[in-house]
Amino acid sequence: MAKRDSFSARLNRGEVVYDFIGNRRIWYGISVLITITAIAALAVRGLNMGIEFQGGAVFTTPKSEVSVSQAQEFVEEASGHEVIVQKLGEGQLRIQVGGLDTEQSDQIRAELAEDMGVPTSQIAAELVGPSWGEQIATKAWTGLGVFMILVVLYLAIAFEWRMAVAALVALIHDLTITVGIYSLVGFEVTVGTVIGLLTILGYSLYDTVVVFDSLKEQTRGITKQTRYTYGDLANISINSTLIRSINTTVVALLPVAGLLFIGGGVLGAGMLNDISLSLFVGLAAGAYSSIFIATPLVADLKDRDPAVRALNKRVLARRAAAAAKGESVDADPSDDSVEDAVPAAVVGQRGRRGRSSDGRR
């Protein structure tokens, strides 16, 4: 008995076809639920803004026997503010205290040195003003706005306005989910977080454009045939690029997961969490949105077009007539216009005409 191929092998050969477009209401519902949760978390919990955005002081202590909890207790008693303590390499500690001026910073530095039993000169202190964080945030929002405008213009020119709208919705979807996760887990938002957020936008857009490019090629001349609806070809486009999306996403997530779970979680390098969490969540959300949100949304928008709506009616009428006669539409050899109107990649593994072992049809 021949050994059955694995699911991954059949997926690689294009033999596994899933109806993404037909189940799009499920994906829309999941995305709406996640987005509402993220927005609610932002409204209730807010974001844990880093010292760069709210201002304050950062103390770096030398190697000592003082634990993270002890250092946090020392500084909270001296400052009366909430304190964030991170363990660095070789036993050093990084202590952040928000809302301090220069005089308060010098006082807390002296008290911290006394509590830890180290000279004051060995504790490095850095004062950060809130105006610097405001400048960074303003520039980040400006860059994000310019990026969104350029993306919409490019996609509208290279593809069409419906794809531009769908890509924009997918990008906003990814940003909202990523920021909501930050609010839920309480990770600190730093400059690294902003860098991570801007990075994932490019990755999410790349994955979406790959599917859009396949969809554009496969729907060229679509109204000249009566075998496939626009939704059918959109579904085939997703399936034909699915294994590529899975492979690139997994390869991208593995090193980021190492930074987040091993570097930040196991080894205690807390400074890695701010950028690695945004990358990890953003990459996963970007892969999801390109498959389950962007392309189904294009199909929904395209179905409103009069020409595509008329095509869908013709295709459904032909299928109904064939079903009444007990015939298979895909097996109809008389419709030669399909191969002229739709590229060969549309037919895929299942619909491709067979060849004999010597290469003849």
Position 345 scores a pLDDT of: 41
Q: Are 190 and 306 in contact (CB under 8 A)?
A: no
- Kindly report each contact of residues 211-216 with a partner whose C-beta sits within 8 Å and lies 24 or more positions away, as own/partner: 211/237, 211/238, 211/241, 211/245, 211/290, 211/291, 211/294, 211/295, 212/155, 212/159, 212/163, 212/167, 212/294, 212/295, 212/298, 213/159, 214/240, 214/241, 214/345, 215/163, 215/295, 215/298, 216/159
- Sorted by where each starts, the structural domains of the chain and their CATH numbers stand as 17-48+132-307 (1.20.1640.10), 56-128 (3.30.70.250)
At residue 124, φ and ψ (nearest 5 deg) are -80, 135
Write down the pLDDT at residue 328. 61
Locate tokens 């997994």: which residue? 250
Residue 11's pLDDT is: 59
What is the C-alpha to C-alpha distance for residues 353 and 163, in angstroms, rounded to an integer?
A: 32
Q: Residues 144, 150, 156, 161: is their CA dihedral positive or negative?
A: positive
pLDDT at 165: 93
pLDDT along the chain (361 residues), means of 10: 54 68 91 92 85 78 78 77 73 77 78 81 77 75 86 90 92 90 83 81 83 88 85 88 85 85 61 78 88 92 89 87 72 40 41 41 37
State residue 265's pLDDT score: 56
Q: What is the pLDDT of residue 347?
A: 40
The two three-digit tokens of residue 314, written as one number: 């013709």
**pLDDT at residue 266 in the model:** 57
**Residue labelled with tokens 């050969």:** 13
Q: Using alpha carbons, select from 118, 114, 116, 80 the residue that is nearest to residue 97.
A: 80
Instruction: Please give the pLDDT value at position 330.
Output: 54
At residue 5, the pLDDT reads 59
* Paired tokens of 9: 């092998």
Of 220, 214, 222, 356, the residue nearest 295 (C-alpha): 214
The CA-based angle 161-167-170, given to 5 degrees, is 145
